[in-house]
Amino acid sequence: MILFALFSNNPILIIPWLTALLMAITIHEFAHGFAAYRLGDDTAYRNGRLSLNPLDHIDPFGALMLLLLGFGWAKPVPINIYKVGKGRWGMIIVSSAGVIINLSFAVFILFLLKFFALDHFAYNNLMITFFAFLVYINLALFIFNLIPIPPLDGYHIIEYFFPRVFMRFAPFIERWGTIVLLILVFGTNIIGYLINFVIVAFSLLFHINISFLAFGSM
Active site amino acids: 29
β-pair partners for 58: 74
The b/e string for 184-198 (b: 16+ C-beta within 10 A; e otherwise) is beeeeeeeeebbeeb
Spatial distance between the Cα atoms of 95 and 199, rounded to a whole number of angstroms = 23
Spatial distance between the Cα atoms of 119 and 70, rounded to a whole number of angstroms = 30
Cα Rg of the chain, angstroms: 18
Q: Which residues contact 142 (CB under 8 A, 6 or more apart)?
A: 99, 102, 103, 106, 198
